Amino acid sequence: MTKLDEFDKALLDQLQTDATLSLAELSERINLSRNAIWRRLTRLESEGFIREKVARLDRDKLNLGLTVFISVRTEAHSSQWFDSFHKAVSEIPEITGMYRMTGDVDYVLHAFVPDMRSYDRLYKQLISKVALSDVSSSFVMEEIKDTTKVPLTYI
């Protein structure tokens, strides 16, 4: 694994805050030349430290005010079942995250929908595509922290 120095970490930190910063702005903030910033940025991208650069959208303005965590249990654990489950989840754009879990729940899904009626349609769509033993959902009442920033202290 590549060891990151303090300049690499500073660059990644700045990009996590605002990926639209120009080389000149990054150069000024990190106190390195534009060429040095460009070389580091190119290396971090090629080594996979930077997976993608995206825009965070305002969910309320897009009428996606209801955040849902969907807990799924299944009695089927074959690769064929998983493939059909993965395909079903991938075809539902409201589901933005899918996680295989330890413990009592097999999978947790993360979704954004406008309202409860829309969630009900999502639920019916999901259960029509794949056999599930139990589906339980929790709805976010208040979003207290939501960030895409990851800690840079472990490398």
pLDDT in tens, 98-140: 999 999 999 999 999 999 999 999 999 999 999 999 999 999 9
> pLDDT value at position 48?
96
> pLDDT value at position 2?
75
Considering only CA atoms, which of 113, 19, 129, 103 is closest in space to residue 64? 113
Q: How confident is the model at residue 155 (pLDDT cuts 50, 70, 90)?
A: confident
Q: Are 42 and 102 in contact (CB under 8 A)?
A: no
Domain with CATH 1.10.10 in the chain: 6-46
Residue 68: alpha-carbon gap to chain centroid: 14
Instruction: Name every residue whose Cβ is closer than 8 Å to that of residue 19 and which is 6 or more positions away in sequence.
Output: 53, 54
What fold characterizes domain 66-139? Alpha-Beta Plaits (3.30.70)
Average pLDDT on 6-30 reads 97
pLDDT in tens, 90-109: 999 999 999 999 999 999 99
**Does the pLDDT value for residue 45 go beyond 80?**
yes
Average pLDDT on 5-24 reads 97
Q: How confident is the model at residue 1 (pLDDT cuts 50, 70, 90)?
A: low
Q: How far apart are CA 92 and CA 135, in angstroms?
A: 16
Domain with CATH 3.30.70.920 in the chain: 66-139
> pLDDT value at position 3?
86
Assign domain 6-46 to its CATH architecture: Orthogonal Bundle (1.10)
Q: E-strand spans in 10-149?
A: 66-73, 95-100, 107-113, 134-139
**Does the pLDDT value for residue 71 go beyond 90?**
yes
User: What is the pTM for the complete model shown?
Assistant: 0.89
**Does the pLDDT value for residue 35 go beyond 80?**
yes
